[in-house]
Chains A and B, each alone.
Chain A
Amino acid sequence: MQAFADLFNALDQTTSTNAKVAALTDYFQTAADPDKLWCIALFSGRRPKRAVTTTRLREWAAERAGIPLWLFEETYPIVGDLSETIALILPDATRQTNRTLSDWMEEILRLTPADEDTRKEAVLDAWDCLNTTERFLFNKLLTGGFRVGVSQKLMTRALSRATDTEEAQMAHRLMGNWTPETTTFHDLIHAQDTEADQSRPYPFYLAYGLEDAPEALGSPADWQAEWKWDGIRGQLILRGGTHFLWSRGEELITDRFPEFARSVDFLPDGTVLDGEVLAWHGDKPLPFSELQKRIGRKTVPKKLLKDAPVVLRAYDLLEDAGEDMRDKPLAERRARLEALLANIPPEAAVIPSPVVPFDDWQTLTDIRETSRDAHAEGLMLKRLGSPYLAGRKKGDWWKWKVDPLTIDAVMIYAQSGHGRRANLFTDFTFAVWNNGELVPFTKAYSGLTDAEFRKITAWVRKNTLQRFGPVRQVTPEHVFEIGFEGIMESPRHKSGVALRFPRMLRWRHDKPIQEANTLDDLKALMP
Chain B
Amino acid sequence: MRADPVLTFTDRGIYCPAGDFYIDPWRPVDRALITHGHSDHSRWGHQHYMATEAAAPVMHHRLGDVSIQTTPYGAKTQIGAASVSFHPAGHIPGSAQIRIDVGGEVWVVSGDYKPEPDGLCESFELVPCHAFISECTFGLPAFKWAPQSVVAEEINAWWSANAAEGRFSLLGAYSLGKAQRLMSLLDPSIGPILTHGAVEATNEVLRAQGYPLPATTRVTGDLDVKAHAGGIVIAPPSAFGTPWAKKFGRAATGFASGWMRLRGVRRRRAADRGFVLSDHADWPGLNDTIRATGCEKVFVTHGYTEIFNQWLLSEGYDSAIVATEYTGEGADTEDIAEVD
| Interface residues, chain A, with chain B CB atoms under 8 Å away | 12-15, 65, 67-68, 70-72, 74-75, 78-81, 84-85, 88-89, 136, 418-424, 450, 454, 457-458, 461
- Decide if B332 touches A421 in the complex (CB within 8 Å): no
**Given A85-B142, A423-B332, A457-B332, also A74-B307 (CB < 8 A):** yes
Chain A residues near B262: list those with CB within 8 A: 78-80, 84, 422-423
Cβ of B140 under 8 Å from chain A: yes
Residue interface bits B295-318, CB-to-A below 8 A is 1, else 0: 000000000100100110010000
Q: Which residues of A contact B141 (CB under 8 A)?
A: 65, 67, 71-72, 75, 88-89
Q: Inside 8 A of A13's CB, which chain B residues have their CB?
A: 272-273
Contacts of A89 in B (CB 8 A): 141-142
Given A14-B272, A15-B272, A422-B265, residue A75 in contact with residue B142 (CB < 8 A): yes
* Most chain A beta-carbon contacts within 10 A, residue among B142, B261, B332: B142
Q: Is B291 among interface residues, defined by CB-CB distance under 8 A?
A: no
Tell me how far the C-beta of B329 lies from the nearest C-beta in chain A, rounded to whole angstroms: 7
Bound complex: CA of A389 vs CA of B224, how far in Å?
48
Question: Which 4 residue pairs spanning A and B have beta carbons closest together?
Answer: A422-B264, A88-B142, A80-B264, A420-B267
A458 to B144 CA separation, bound complex (whole angstroms)? 25
Would you call B2 an interface residue if the criterion is a C-beta within 8 Å of the partner chain's C-beta atoms?
no
Pick from A14, A79, A81, A458: contact of B330, CB under 8 Å: A458
Set of chain A residues within 8 Å of B246, measured between Cβ atoms: none
Contact residues of B between 224 and 245, Cβ < 8 Å to A = none
Say whether B330 contacts A421, CB under 8 Å: no
- Known interface pairs A14-B272, A71-B307, A78-B142; A84-B330 also in contact (CB < 8 Å): no
CB distance from B258 to the nearest CB of A (A): 12
Residues of A within 8 A of B310 (CB): 70-71, 74
**How far, in angstroms, from A70 to B314 measured CA to CA in the complex?**
11
CB distance from A88 to the nearest CB of B (A): 4
Instruction: Tell me which of B267, B272, B330 contacts A461 (CB under 8 A).
Output: B330
Give the residue name and chain of the B residue nearest to A450 (CB).
B268
Complex-state Cα separation, A414 to B307, whole angstroms = 19
Partner of B263, one of A12, A68, A70: A12
List the interface of chain B (C-beta within 8 A of A).
Answer: 140-144, 261-265, 267-268, 272-273, 304, 307, 310-311, 314, 329-332
Task: Provide 26 A-B residue pairs closer than 8 Å at the C-beta atoms, listed in order of the A residue.
Answer: A13-B272, A15-B272, A65-B141, A71-B141, A71-B307, A71-B311, A78-B140, A79-B262, A79-B264, A80-B262, A80-B264, A81-B263, A81-B264, A88-B142, A88-B143, A136-B263, A419-B263, A419-B267, A421-B268, A422-B264, A422-B265, A423-B265, A423-B331, A423-B332, A458-B332, A461-B330
In the assembled complex, the CB of B58 is this many whole angstroms from the nearest CB of chain A, namely 28
Of all chain A residues, the one with the shortest Cβ separation from B259 is: A423
* B residues near A457, Cβ cutoff 8 Å: 330, 332
Residues of B within 8 A of A12 (CB): 263, 267
* CB nearest to A62 among chain B residues: B141
Bound CA–CA A461/B262 (angstroms): 20
B263: chain A residues within 8 A (beta carbon): 12, 81, 84, 136, 419, 422
Q: How far is the CA of A424 from the CA of B330 in the complex (A)?
A: 9
The chain B residue sitting closest to A133, CB to CB, is: B263
Bound-complex Cα distance A419 to B264 (A) = 5
Given A85-B142, A88-B143: 7 more A-B contacts, CB < 8 Å: A75-B141, A79-B262, A89-B141, A419-B267, A421-B268, A422-B265, A423-B265
Chain B residues near A418 (CB, 8 Å)? 264
Q: How far is the CA of A78 from the CA of B140 in the complex (A)?
A: 9
- A80's closest neighbor in chain B, by CB? B264
